[in-house]
């Protein structure tokens, strides 16, 4: 168990949050891993340079609710990045999406082989739950975080979405089937990340409900944007292969409704995000200005 010295952390913008998250991950990942090769494989993908969107959403939400960050909150908030990195490693495996490039580097199995990559994912997934409880936060808070993350990431959430994705590879999905798949595969973890900020801040039920709506819309926008970038983005921009969805006849928004309509749905979703942000500000009398930086991610 790591004992952190209490110190107050004041962070005002997304890039400062990303720096703090990177610093925490780099400084703490090795301490709970007892096998050198496993440690190297876990660190390889975790520290390969992701955007840290999910823990940053938790911390930005927590802070926008008027709370001051401390190392326990930081640790619990970084758990979702461990879990997200596991999902990327497993998604890239030959038996899943069979990708060679992730976060601008060879995928974990290309570097360490499929067996170690699977175990690195397993290690990160398990460690995520350890980090949620191995801290000084109240047990009622950590219980809620564990329960919510398990539902978001497990067989009712991301794992279900990934299964539908594999099942749907050789089928033409309807828009509503695609929306459900996306909400489970990508949206659930993003919604968790935003709600986790509310849980850590002991937010009132009406605020939690707004955070949940913001999370659902953010998850939708995120997936639509990812689908669009597979068509119009570059390898350099995305740090992974592009045009793969089209080449493999994947079910995506551009494939189903065309590029122009996909852009229109994305714009509508951004409008919704701004409206929910305004409702959050009205309800809490706090500024959620930092959300603008996250919403700007969807600028085309
Ligand atoms: C293996 C159970 C299991 C699930 C995998 C995450 C996932 C589910 C699949 C990844 C496929 C994919 C590219 C989905 C699109 C959305 C997504 C999760 C993109 C990657 O997330 P970013 O952009 O990545 O936040 P970084 O590297 O910045 O963290």
Written in H, E and C, the secondary structure of 156-225 is CCHHHHHHHHHHHCCCCCCHHHHHHHHHHHHHHHHHHHHHHHHHHCCCCHHHHHHHHHHHHHHHHHHHHH
Give the rounded percent of residues in the chain with a pLDDT score beyond 70.
91
Q: Which atom of ligand 1 is nearest to the CA of 159?
A: 2
CA of 271 to the centre of ligand 1 (A): 24
Q: Is the CB of 182 under 6 A from ligand 1?
A: no
pLDDT at 1 over 50: no
Which residue, among 210, 230, 224, 228, has the nearest Cα to 274 in the 3D structure? 210
Whether the Cβ atoms of residue 83 and residue 128 lie closer than 8 Å to each other = yes
Residue 241 makes CB contacts below 8 A (sequence gap 6+) with 99, 100, 101, 235
CA of 125 to the centre of ligand 1 (A): 14
112-128 pLDDT, tens digit per residue, is: 999 999 999 999 999 99
Which residue, among 86, 246, 103, 252, has the nearest Cα to 165 in the 3D structure? 252
Virtual torsion, Cα 7, 13, 17, 20, nearest 10 deg: -50
Q: How far apart are CA 297 and CA 300, in angstroms?
A: 9
244-269 pLDDT, tens digit per residue, is: 766 667 789 999 999 999 999 999 99
Q: Is the CB of 87 under 6 A from ligand 1?
A: yes
pLDDT at 28: 96
Which residue, among 255, 250, 296, 254, has the nearest Cα to 273 in the 3D structure? 296
Would you state the structure tokens that stand for residue 30, as one six-digit string? 């090795």
Average pLDDT, the chain: 92
Q: How far apart are CA 277 and CA 258, in angstroms?
A: 29
What angle do helix axes 71-92 and 139-153 make, rounded to 10 degrees? 10
pLDDT at 2 over 60: no
Q: Which residues of 109-133 are buried (b: 16+ CB within 10 A; e: fewer)?
A: bbebeeebbbbbbebbbebbbebbe
Binned at pLDDT 50, 70 and 90, residue 233 comes out as confident
Domain boundaries, the chain: 14-295
Which residue, among 121, 127, 203, 131, has the nearest Cα to 158 in the 3D structure? 121
Whether the Cβ atoms of residue 281 and residue 288 lie closer than 8 Å to each other = yes
The residue whose CA is least distant from atom 24 of ligand 1 is: 50
Average pLDDT over residues 42-46: 98
CA of 198 to the centre of ligand 1 (A): 23
Taking the CB of residue 244, how many other CB atoms lie within 10 A of it?
Answer: 13
pLDDT at 168: 86
What 8-state DSSP symbol labels residue 6? Answer: P
Q: How far apart are CA 29 and CA 35, in angstroms?
A: 12
pLDDT at 4: 44
CA of 136 to the centre of ligand 1 (A): 30
Structurally, at CATH architecture level, domain 14-295 sits in Orthogonal Bundle (1.10)
Q: Which atom of ligand 1 is nearest to the CA of 53?
A: 25
User: Ligand 1, from 117, 188, 226, 235: best to mutate by most atoms within 8 Å of Cβ?
Assistant: 226
Would you state the structure tokens that stand for residue 125, as one six-digit string? 């997934």
Q: Which atom of ligand 1 is nearest to the CA of 162?
A: 4
The residue whose CA is least distant from atom 29 of ligand 1 is: 50
Measured CA angle at 135 (ends 75, 284), to 5 deg: 65
């Amino acid at each position: 168990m790591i004992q952190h010295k209490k110190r107050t952390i004041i962070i005002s913008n997304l890039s400062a949050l990303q720096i703090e998250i990177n610093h925490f991950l780099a400084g703490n990942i090795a301490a709970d891993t007892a096998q050198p090769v496993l440690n190297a494989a876990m660190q390889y993908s975790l520290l390969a340079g992701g955007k840290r969107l999910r823990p940053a959403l938790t911390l930005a939400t927590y802070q926008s609710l008027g709370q001051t960050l401390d190392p326990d909150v930081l640790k619990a908030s970084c758990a979702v990045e461990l879990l997200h990195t596991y999902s990327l490693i497993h998604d890239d495996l030959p038996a899943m999406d069979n990708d060679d490039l992730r976060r601008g580097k060879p995928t974990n199995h290309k570097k360490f082989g499929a067996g170690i990559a699977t175990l690195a994912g397993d290690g990160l997934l398990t460690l995520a739950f350890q980090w949620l409880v191995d801290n000084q936060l109240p047990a009622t808070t950590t219980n809620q975080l564990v329960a919510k993350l398990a539902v978001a990431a497990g067989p009712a959430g991301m794992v279900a979405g990934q299964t539908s994705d594999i099942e749907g590879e050789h089928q033409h999905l309807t828009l509503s089937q695609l929306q459900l798949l996306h909400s489970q595969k990508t949206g659930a973890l993003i919604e968790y990340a935003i709600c986790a900020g509310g849980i850590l801040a002991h937010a009132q039920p009406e605020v939690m409900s707004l955070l949940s709506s913001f999370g659902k819309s953010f998850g939708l926008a995120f997936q639509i944007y990812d689908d669009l970038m597979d068509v119009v983005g570059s390898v350099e921009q995305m740090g992974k292969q592009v045009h793969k969805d089209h080449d493999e006849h994947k079910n995506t928004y551009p494939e189903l409704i065309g590029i122009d309509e996909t852009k229109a749905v994305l714009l509508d979703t951004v409008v919704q995000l701004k409206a929910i942000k305004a409702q959050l500000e009205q309800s809490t009398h706090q500024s959620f200005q930092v959300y603008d930086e996250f919403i700007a991610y969807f600028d085309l």
